[in-house]
């Protein structure tokens, strides 16, 4: 069944190519299509295009479909082009002529739009919940390990003292930026496109304010062409926000892989979170963080894939837009999985103590040696040259006391301020 059928059969090869894997992807949208249809049905009743009996029977039938979807009993067979045709078929089969009225003042275009907006709203909210859990965990670890010093690196060369408190809380604060971007994305998504029909509105006296309230959107997309143009733009906006989250998570995963390396040996993972080698019995590999890194790097390519598909399209609907789901939906599931496994694994990271006792880290404190000279009244540039000469002549002595006195400045982490900053985004 196709919503556009006119009694002329479609070439089977053309049909297979144009539908692609849309049936499988549309299962993600099935619940939202029914929810959008309930709001549309109630609106048709409000403007007397449906009787009260028709409205009530359609709403009840759609609610039953939602229950089937939630139970996992809803499928889209090969006889149907997409989720929209399957749901309309179920309504028509059950309610006869009443079911055929559901598409009044509506196009499949704005059905897809409202489905996507509702789905992406839920996705963004779920990402925010996951990030809040991860944020709280990172701050907890920062507080717990704030006095454990950690060598800092620039250019992958020994640089200055840091701490595990700084490391954990730096990623916590970085995730705030990602949540800010998700909030901006939510504002763009949270606009009702229902009623834009094929992109040029409807001649029926539809009440778009009613469906906006019924569906829980913050506002509506007033111009129907603008509503249609949000297809592609919405997906790309979400993809950029996901890319930002993925970039932060990927960098953290790389740190974990690096810090577990025996040449660094800053952290370890319990054996049950690592994998082994088929030939080397000593191996305990951080595969989970390598896969987080790889999956998140792949997600960062998504905005550009969507851009390439959509950037030369004029206004109006084009079938190219169907392809956006193929990249976006799996990426959403992958990012959710990466966040879940990161939360599971990070809480079990084991921190090494006394890392800085290794003599190779003595140069971490060259800046402290300079500062001591500056405090004694020597100009900074002269103090810098003095310490530089000591290093070149191999007579530099690390001010060991700094390893303890540094804790005050390093670990002034402002954890409560960081927490308050995050709370403003929720």
pLDDT in tens, 8-65: 566 566 656 655 666 788 899 999 999 999 999 999 999 999 999 999 999 999 999 9
Contact criterion met (CB below 8 Å) for 226 and 253: no
Q: Can you give the pLDDT at residue 81?
A: 83
pLDDT cut 70: percent of the chain above it:
92
Query: In this structure, how many other beta carbons lie within 10 angstroms of the beta carbon of residue 39?
Result: 23
> Looking at the predicted structure, is the pLDDT value of residue 82 above 50?
yes
Residue 79 structural domain: 12-101
Q: Can you give the pLDDT at residue 171?
A: 98
Tell me whether residue 286 is in a domain: yes
Q: Can you give the pLDDT at residue 27?
A: 94
Q: Could you tell me the CATH number of the domain that includes residue 97?
A: 1.10.275.10
Name the domain count of the chain. Answer: 2
pLDDT in tens, 375-420: 999 999 999 999 999 999 999 988 765 444 555 445 567 899 999 9
Tell me whether residue 416 is in a domain: no
Tell me whether residue 417 is in a domain: no
In this structure, the answer to whether residues 186 and 290 fall within a common structural domain is yes
- Provide CB contacts within 8 A for 279, sequence distance 6+: none
In this structure, the answer to whether residues 91 and 123 fall within a common structural domain is no
In this structure, the answer to whether residues 166 and 225 fall within a common structural domain is yes
Most confidently predicted of 8-17, 245-254, 262-271, 316-325? 245-254
Tell me whether residue 406 is in a domain: no
Q: Can you give the pLDDT at residue 8?
A: 57
Selection from 23, 33, 160 nearest residue 88 by Cα: 33
Domain end marker among 65, 83, 101:
101
In this structure, the answer to whether residues 70 and 150 fall within a common structural domain is no
Contact criterion met (CB below 8 Å) for 260 and 295: no
In this structure, the answer to whether residues 56 and 23 fall within a common structural domain is yes
Tell me whether residue 253 is in a domain: yes
Lookup: tokens for 315? 């206004």
Q: Determine which of 72-76, 215-219, 254-258, 402-406 has the lowest per-residue pLDDT on average.
A: 402-406
Q: Could you tell me the CATH number of the domain that includes residue 289?
A: 1.20.200.10
Contact criterion met (CB below 8 Å) for 212 and 220: yes
In this structure, the answer to whether residues 84 and 129 fall within a common structural domain is no
Running DSSP on this structure, what letter comes out for residue 9? P
Q: Can you give the pLDDT at residue 305?
A: 96
In this structure, the answer to whether residues 165 and 97 fall within a common structural domain is no
Of the two residues 161 and 412, the one the predictor is more confident about is: 161
Q: Can you give the pLDDT at residue 4?
A: 41
In this structure, the answer to whether residues 132 and 235 fall within a common structural domain is yes
Tell me whether residue 345 is in a domain: yes
In this structure, the answer to whether residues 118 and 34 fall within a common structural domain is no
In this structure, the answer to whether residues 210 and 346 fall within a common structural domain is yes
> Looking at the predicted structure, is the pLDDT value of residue 266 above 50?
yes
Tell me whether residue 421 is in a domain: no
In this structure, the answer to whether residues 52 and 133 fall within a common structural domain is no
In this structure, the answer to whether residues 172 and 289 fall within a common structural domain is yes
Q: Can you give the pLDDT at residue 284?
A: 87
Q: Can you spell out the DSSP letters for 57-123?
A: HHHHHHHHHHHHHHHT-----TT-SSHHHHHHHHHHHHHGGGGGGTTTT--HHHHHHHHHHHHHHHH
> Looking at the predicted structure, is the pLDDT value of residue 201 above 80?
yes
Strands (E), 116-231: 149-154, 157-163, 191-192, 219-220
Tell me the average pLDDT of the chain: 92
Domain end marker among 308, 340, 356:
356
Q: Can you give the pLDDT at residue 296?
A: 98
Separation of alpha carbons 80 and 243, rounded Å: 34
């Amino acid at each position: 069944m196709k919503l556009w059928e006119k009694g002329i059969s479609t070439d089977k090869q053309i049909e297979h190519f144009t539908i692609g894997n849309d049936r499988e992807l549309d299962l993600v949208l099935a619940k939202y299509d029914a929810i959008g249809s309930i709001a549309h049905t109630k609106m048709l009743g409000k403007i007397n295009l449906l009787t009260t009996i028709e409205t009530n029977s359609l709403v009840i039938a759609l609610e039953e479909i939602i229950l089937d979807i939630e139970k996992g009993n809803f499928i889209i067979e090969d006889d149907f082009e997409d989720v929209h045709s399957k749901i309309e078929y179920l309504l028509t089969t059950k309610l006869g002529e009443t079911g055929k009225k559901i598409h009044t003042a509506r196009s499949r275009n704005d059905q897809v739009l409202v489905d996507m907006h509702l789905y992406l709203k839920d996705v963004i909210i779920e990402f925010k919940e996951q990030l809040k859990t991860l944020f709280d965990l990172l701050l907890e670890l920062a507080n717990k390990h704030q006095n454990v010093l950690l060598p800092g690196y620039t250019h992958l060369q020994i640089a200055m003292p840091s701490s595990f408190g700084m490391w954990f809380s730096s990623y916590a604060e970085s995730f705030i930026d990602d949540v800010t971007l998700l909030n901006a994305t939510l504002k763009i998504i949270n606009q009702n496109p229902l009623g834009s029909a094929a992109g040029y509105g409807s001649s029926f006296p539809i009440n778009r304010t009613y469906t906006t309230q019924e569906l829980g959107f913050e506002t509506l997309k007033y111009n129907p062409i603008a509503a249609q143009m949000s297809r592609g733009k919405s997906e790309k906006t979400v993809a950029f926000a996901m890319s930002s989250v993925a970039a932060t998570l990927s960098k953290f995963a790389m740190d974990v892989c690096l810090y577990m390396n025996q040449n660094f040996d800053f952290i370890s993972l319990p054996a049950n979170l690592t994998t082994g080698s088929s030939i080397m019995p000593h191996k305990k590999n951080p595969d989970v963080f390598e896969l987080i890194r790889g999956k998140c790097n792949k997600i960062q390519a998504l905005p550009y894939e969507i851009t390439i598909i959509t950037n030369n399209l004029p206004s109006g609907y084009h079938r190219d837009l169907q392809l956006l789901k193929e990249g976006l939906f799996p990426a959403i599931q992958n990012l959710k999985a990466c966040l879940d496994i990161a939360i599971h694994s990070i809480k079990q990271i084991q921190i090494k103590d006394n890392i800085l006792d290794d003599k190779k880290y003595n140069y971490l404190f060259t800046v402290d040696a300079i500062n001591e000279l500056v405090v004694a009244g020597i100009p900074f540039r002269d103090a810098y040259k003095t310490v530089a000469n000591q290093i070149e002549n191999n007579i530099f002595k690390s001010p060991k006391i700094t390893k303890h006195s540094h804790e005050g400045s390093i670990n002034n982490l402002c954890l409560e301020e960081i927490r308050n900053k995050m709370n403003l985004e929720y």
